[in-house]
Amino acid sequence: MRYHNITKDDMLNGSGLRVVLWVSGCNHACEQCHNPITWDINGGLPFDESAKEEIFTELEKDYISGITLSGGDPLHPRNREDIGNLIVEIKEKFPNKNIWLYTGYLWEVISNLSFLPLVDVVVDGEFEIAKKDTSLQWKGSSNQRVIDVKKTLENGNVVLAYS
């Protein structure tokens, strides 16, 4: 897996103060994407132990609520194994931190991924410029959903964390 940036003390990509990992690779190519530089699966830097330690150092801070995985698309087929392993490791080391994951894939397509029960919130769906709405919380277009993963898995139907 490769990444473009690790953002610290972020308040725009999930609830609370967060660390954000911006991974490389996205096949969706959404029109007017805010981060097209991350589309190339071979772009950015290798995600190595140093990058992981940078994230873990941030997550050790009491005032950091959790991590957001974004990009690009963390669930690009070539990212899934590494993202899954990272999610497992984060939940083991930091069980009280929440995990948000942004993806262009719909919940119905990805819900069977083995590591998703460890994620707290999934923001799904491609960004659609025709449905762009700057008043929305945690998403860029009205077709996207901010999904409470735990409640969705318990209920069997998508439960929104935020409308």
Tokens of 131: 């449905």
The model's confidence at residue 16, banded by pLDDT at 50, 70 and 90, is very high
Buried b (16+ CB within 10 A) or exposed e, 104-140: bbbbeeebebebbebbbbbbbbbbeeeeeeeeeebbb
For residue 145, is pLDDT > 80? yes
For residue 23, is pLDDT > 70? yes
Q: What pLDDT does residue 163 have?
A: 59
List the domain range (segments joined by +) for residue 102.
2-162
What sections of the chain are H helices per DSSP? Answer: 49-59, 80-93, 107-110, 149-155
- Number of domains present in the structure of the chain: 1
Mind listing the pLDDT tens digit for each residue in 36-93? 999 999 999 999 999 999 999 999 999 999 999 999 999 999 999 999 999 999 999 9
- The CB-side HSE value for 78 (13 A sphere, CA atoms) comes to 15
Q: What pLDDT does residue 22 have?
A: 98
Average pLDDT, the chain: 96
Do 59 and 98 meet the contact criterion of CB atoms below 8 Å apart? no
Which letter does DSSP use for residue 62 in this model? T
- The CB-side HSE value for 65 (13 A sphere, CA atoms) comes to 17
The model's confidence at residue 162, banded by pLDDT at 50, 70 and 90, is confident
pTM of structure: 0.96
